[in-house]
Amino acid sequence: MSKNYYELTYIITPVLDEEEFKEVINKVNQVLEDNGAEIDEVDDWGIRKFEFEMDKKNNGYYVNAYFHAPNDLIEKLQRELRIDDRIMRFLTLKYDAKMLRHRELQKKNAVPPVFEEQTKEDS
């Protein structure tokens, strides 16, 4: 079975304590691994302020995960994320070849200067 590369960003409700944040992250990682995913990286961003109020909250705990997984995993994963009350929102991206090349450059810290300059202008 072929595996695709995915990026998952999810927001955990900010009313939890540090141990509960870790518990939610571990649960998501376990769902991925139990269903055949190979986790590349989990990037814990911490609590960030929202531009607009979401679920009557002004901030949330952001987590970003990168992984290889079979196609059928995504449906199972999204179901688990939907039924967990601690997860406010989530977004799953399937990488195409161009995105994969850029991701590989990011991991090697070799992103071409044109992208770095564009990022600085956006800030």
Q: How far is CA 64 from CA 29, 41, 56, in A?
A: 11, 8, 23
Q: Which helix (H) or strand (E) element contains residue 102?
A: helix 97-107
- Tens of pLDDT, residues 29-56: 999 999 999 999 999 999 999 999 888 8
Rounded Cα distance between 89 and 62, Å, is 10
Give the rounded distance of the alpha carbon of 7 from its chain centre.
Answer: 5
User: Domain extents for the chain?
Assistant: 3-122
Asked if 65 contacts 41 with a C-beta cutoff of 8 angstroms, the reply is: yes
Length reported for the chain: 123
pTM, two decimals, is 0.81
Start-to-end C-alpha separation, the chain: 41
Span 77-111, pLDDT tens digits: 999 999 999 999 999 999 888 888 888 878 777 67
User: Domain 3-122, what fold?
Assistant: Alpha-Beta Plaits (3.30.70)
